[in-house]
Amino acid sequence: MQYEIKGTPFPVVICKLDNGEAMITERGSMTWMTPGLDMKTVGGGVGKAIGRMFAGEAMFQNVYTATTNGCEIAFGSSFAGKIIPLEITPGSSFIVQKSGFLASTSGVELSIAYKKKIGASVFGGEGFIMQKLTGSGTAFVEIDGDYVQYDLAPGQVMYIDTGYLAMMDSTVTMDVEMIKGAKNVLFGGEGLFNTKVTGPGRIWIQTMPIAGLAQAIAGYIPSK
């Protein structure tokens, strides 16, 4: 599989497939394709389908398989941002924000990742359930706005405002810490908690979470 990412601020990834190669995506992500691709809707079993639903994805997935060489299929972003390609090997896995998965080659497995600590689940801003990408192949992930990537050393800590953590290596641990000082909490405008991530591993921080963008726009919409 070969690919090219084009467009801004609503990017699209164009994949070129040879005979027998396949791409997996959620319903509605395919934007165009050439002849020679066979589509099949799969659920992968009731447990997996329900798990994807809780992770913010559709219960069923579409598999597009090339029946000839040189087929093209494109997957478009659902909001303004970036599409990040990830090369996944059996020894690596990624934890992605809810609904971040866009598409992947057939060797990539999408499952749910429960946060182990209640504090991170309730107050972290990224939700109780995130997505986990494992297996072998190439996956494409959506990021809100732009992003900054950090490579954390073992024990190195980064504090992130809630909702801004887009993705991380599975080796990174996550927790939350309450902002100190009553005046900071009441008048700082930053909420009660920050997300705390600890290395080793890479983290991807997005610049404009879609929830924050919606909240900012809502303030300019006149009420009836």
**Is position 147 within any domain?**
yes
Q: What's phi and psi for 223, nearest 5 deg?
A: -85, 145
* Domain region containing 25: 2-211
Q: What is the CATH number of the domain that holds 158?
A: 3.60.160.10
| Predicted structure pTM score | 0.82
Contact by Cβ (8 Å): 110, 86: no
pLDDT of residue 49: 52
**Is position 93 within any domain?**
yes
Q: Which two tokens stand for residue 57?
A: 């994805």
**Is position 217 within any domain?**
no
H/E stretch holding 46: helix 46-54
- How many angstroms separate the CA atoms of 197 and 150, rounded? 11
Q: Residue 191, Cβ neighbours under 10 Å: how many?
A: 14
**Is position 45 within any domain?**
yes
- How many angstroms separate the CA atoms of 121 and 101, rounded? 20
pLDDT of residue 78: 85
**Is position 82 within any domain?**
yes
**Is position 224 within any domain?**
no
- List pLDDT tens digits, range 11-54: 999 999 999 999 999 767 899 999 999 999 987 544 455 555 55
- List pLDDT tens digits, range 187-216: 444 556 788 999 999 999 999 887 766 666
**Is position 218 within any domain?**
no
- Tell me how many domains the chain contains: 1
